Amino acid sequence: MAEAVPVLLSSPPARASRFGVRPSPSLVLFLALFASQSGVLVLSPILSDVADDFGVSIAAAGQLRIVAAPLAAVVALLAGRALVRFSPRALLGVGSVLLALGSLASAAAPSFALLAVAQVPMWAGIATLLAAGIAGMAAWSAPEERTRVVARALAGPPAAWIAGMPLIGVVAEVHWRLAFLALPLPAALIALLAVATRSADTPLGGKGASLRGFLRLPQGRRWAVGELMANAAWAGTLVYSGALFTREYGLSTASTGLALGIVAVAYLVGTQRAGRLAQGAARRSMLACSVAAAVTVGLVWGITPGVGVTLALFSLAAVTVATRTVAGTVYGFTVAGELGREVGVVRAVSTQVGYLTGSLVGGAALALAGFAGLGVAFGLLFVASTLPYLVASVERRRDAMSLPASAAAGTRMPSRFVTLPNGKGLLVRPLRNGDVDTVAALFERLGEQSRRARFNGPKPALGSAELAHLAAVDETRHVLVAYLEGDPGPVAIARLVRDGDSAEIAFEVADEHQRRGIGSALTAELLADARAAGVREVTALVASDNTAAVSLLRRVLDRLEIRFEGPELSIRAALA
């Protein structure tokens, strides 16, 4: 039975490709996202040429996505639903074909209106490739290697910029139409070939999997809104980036392509550095990079003393945004649990709507205040991507500091302060029934080893059902949450489940606050509540190698009865 998991997480090994060669999942996903980004970026260095050829303003040319983006967002939603019946491999093939057709139509469009129409199949292909590609990151990788697979696959977009920008710059010197034939068309065909050489895989129709289910999770909604804001900020920056170099500095199309290629190299460096991030640090990295991106992107547009300065700032912004994108994707998988395929849907939809929003906001800001206005607008969008998390943090902080009557709604136990051996104060409050946000927030602060020790096995993410179970508080379940002075987030959780006059206990402490007496103090408070409620004995099931948990229980309980129960230790102790 143990062999079933790898089979579900990757393509079935028994079926070989008809071509005799089966590329790795990372390579296929890299090429799919390379093709997707090729369709996205092709307009950036030629935007001025397109505007001049059709006699429209740059701001108007930047709105080419208005027709395509809403449809592409719908396509992304449909692609997510289709993953229940069709495999990621199948949808990646469909997306490649649509991108190829859209590239041919764009190159042949005789008018600005028909060019806008030709963008529809292009962006439908982009959306399908993105939704299926990101879903494939979860389906084609084991949890312990997911950050690495995500980073390698997300190297596709910057690689498209590195290879594509100089190429577009050269061919656009002849005519801008050749840009569609030189980059997105061959990229789509190469991706199609790579997908065809992969062996068949299976649809991702998981139990209870749905976009609605994902968005019912408070942290899922926050993630989706934050990604939309961040995508809009960076998409808008990319849409107008070519015009910054051609209009502000008078660079040729070829030189502009080279400059944007340098920026793409910086983005690629950012994605690969982010591949070394610990999964538990994804949320913090994402939020920190959002703030840093707001500053750096604002400076790109607001300070333009010379090409070198702008290029350096743009490259720094690219590294920051790349790190945020990898961290945000990994965090999305952590939030989703068994709803992993929905991360691809949300990412694809937020990208399409992000390009629409970024184009509209950027066009208005450019018309009103020039390039400096773009810096303010896009910087504010990056800041806005952190607001859902800030609001949640404020709410948790308010709950933590509230009086017992309000903080302990649904429970008889009061909040209390405990002084730790190091002199710091620890606020302990009961968890409110259904408070999955607090449970998820602490889970994010646990490293891989801590999660393994707490759950007696690998636990890369908590599904919605698991979150609901761990956040349940009723007449038999009691949960305490600890907040450390100077830290707004939860630092530890201890829970007991009562069965008559016995109760099973469990606890976890955030990695950065372990070995400071927090676990002992919180567990002691939990045991005091158990005694007050008439519990006479407690039990715990601990991994046999989790010496820290055993030591903690020895400190807070008088006599332990320990015996092996399979690979775990069953611990029992009477309460005085």
Looking up tokens 């910057």, which residue turns up?
A: 158
- Separation between Cα atoms, residue 382 and residue 295, nearest integer Å: 9
Residue 72: what pLDDT?
A: 77
Average pLDDT, consecutive stretches of 10 residues, N- to C-terminus, the chain (576 residues): 30 43 83 91 82 83 69 80 84 95 94 88 89 82 73 85 83 91 95 89 61 71 89 87 83 80 87 76 87 93 86 93 89 68 76 79 87 91 90 58 37 68 84 87 84 78 81 87 84 89 88 87 87 86 80 80 78 82
| Tokens matching residue 175 | 């005519």
Residues 6+ apart with CB under 8 A from 76: 127, 128, 130, 131, 345, 348, 349, 351, 352
Q: What CATH class does 401-574 carry?
A: alpha beta
- Separation between Cα atoms, residue 19 and residue 164, nearest integer Å: 28
| Tokens matching residue 540 | 């715990």
What are the residue boundaries of the structural domains of the chain, listed by start?
24-385, 401-574
Residue 5: what pLDDT?
A: 28
Buried b (16+ CB within 10 A) or exposed e, 230-239: bbbbbbbbbb
Residue 195: what pLDDT?
A: 92
Q: What is the 3-state secondary structure (H, E, C) of 540-563?
A: EEEECCCHHHHHHHHHHCCCCEEE
Q: What angle do CA 182, 187, 191 make, to 5 degrees?
A: 165
> For residue 214, which of 223, 205, 202, 227 has the smallest C-alpha distance?
223
Neighbours of 63 (CB within 10 A): 18
Residue 220: what pLDDT?
A: 79
What DSSP element (H or E) covers 429?
A: strand 425-430
- Separation between Cα atoms, residue 24 and residue 5, nearest integer Å: 18
- Separation between Cα atoms, residue 428 and residue 401, nearest integer Å: 9
User: Can you give the length of the chain in residues?
Assistant: 576
Is residue 215 within 8 A of residue 221, CB to CB? The reply is yes
Residue 492: what pLDDT?
A: 92
Task: Give the Å distances, CA to CA, from 71 to 74, 87, 123, 316.
Answer: 5, 22, 8, 33
3-state secondary structure (DSSP) of residue 2: coil
Q: Which residues face 429 on adjacent strands?
A: 481
- Separation between Cα atoms, residue 531 and residue 534, nearest integer Å: 5
Looking up tokens 């061919």, which residue turns up?
A: 171
Neighbours of 32 (CB within 10 A): 34
Is residue 237 within 8 A of residue 300, CB to CB? The reply is yes
- Separation between Cα atoms, residue 478 and residue 556, nearest integer Å: 18
Is residue 290 within 8 A of residue 344, CB to CB? The reply is no
Chain centroid to Cα 559, Å, comes to 46
Q: What is the pTM of this model?
A: 0.61
- Separation between Cα atoms, residue 180 and residue 42, nearest integer Å: 7
Neighbours of 212 (CB within 10 A): 8
> For residue 567, which of 453, 469, 459 has the smallest C-alpha distance?
453
CATH no. for 24-385: 1.20.1250.20
